[in-house]
Amino acid sequence: MLQSHVIDIDGAFVGAAVRLDSGYRFIATDMKLDDLDGSIWPSLADVQRLARRIYLGGRVTPSRAH
């Protein structure tokens, strides 16, 4: 059975981190974090830190104009 961890930001459930042999896979449940969905991180703390930063206003990659 896979081990998973709830990722919440100030009480809002934004995703889960699933433990893999190679780190943690982030599964986004909030559309603000769609860019991170499926990404793999070396530690749970890394996932939490980046999810928090993006959720509270930052982006990982620049948005493309349509």
pLDDT in tens, the chain (66 residues): 679 999 999 999 999 999 999 999 999 999 999 999 999 999 999 999 999 999 998 655 544 444
Residue type, 57: G
**CA dist., res. 35 & res. 1, Å (int):** 26
Q: Where are the domains of the chain?
A: 4-55
Count of alpha carbons within 13 angstroms of residue 41, beta-carbon side: 19
**CA dist., res. 52 & res. 19, Å (int):** 19
* pLDDT for the residue numbered 65: 46
* pLDDT for the residue numbered 29: 96
In this structure, what token pair is assigned to residue 59? Answer: 């982006």
pTM of the predicted model, to two decimals? 0.80
Q: Which of 55, 10, 5, 53 is nearest to 25 (CA)?
A: 5
* pLDDT for the residue numbered 61: 53
